[in-house]
Homo-oligomer: A and B are copies of this chain.
Amino acid sequence: MKYIEKLRKSGLRPTKQRLQICEVLFDTERTFHFTINDLVKKINEKLNHKISLATVYNTVHAFEKKGYLKQIPINSNQTYFDTNISDHHHFYDLKEEKLIDLENSDVGPINIFKKIDGKKIKSVEVLVKLED
């Protein structure tokens, strides 16, 4: 399996559950945005059995910490994650409640003129809210 090495390199044991979650998350044509609930549904569809909810949470957080997933800041009662870990921005369709990627070429360069002493910029994220 191609994910075994990836997990080992990260210091994560390649367990059955983690490998199966890798398949659901990363064996896709396109990247996508999801909540934990979305992911549990995908797992139940793709596999014919369940992975415990605690494991799904644990795994997603482990993957996020290792940089294989990104969390998207958005006002929702649920946390949104992204399998697209490149630097990029988002549309948020308020009616559909769906995120849409804005690739870097879709957004002009962003200049931040203000500086805070002793702090470095870690990331710059743009959220563009869409209405009808």
Footprint of B on A, CB under 8 Å? 71-75, 79, 91, 93-94, 100, 102-103, 105-114, 116, 118-132
Could you say which residues of chain B place their CB within 8 Å of the CB of A118? 132
On whether the beta carbons of A112 and B128 are closer than 8 Å, the reply is: yes
On whether the beta carbons of B102 and A112 are closer than 8 Å, the reply is: yes
Beyond A100-B116, A107-B111, 20 extra complex contacts between A and B, CB < 8 Å: A73-B73, A73-B74, A75-B79, A91-B116, A94-B122, A102-B112, A107-B112, A108-B110, A108-B112, A108-B113, A119-B130, A119-B131, A120-B132, A121-B128, A121-B130, A123-B128, A124-B127, A124-B129, A126-B127, A127-B127
On whether the beta carbons of A114 and B126 are closer than 8 Å, the reply is: no
21 cross-chain CB contacts under 8 A: A71-B75, A73-B75, A75-B79, A91-B114, A91-B116, A93-B116, A94-B122, A107-B112, A108-B111, A110-B126, A112-B128, A116-B130, A119-B132, A120-B131, A120-B132, A121-B130, A122-B131, A123-B128, A124-B127, A125-B127, A125-B129
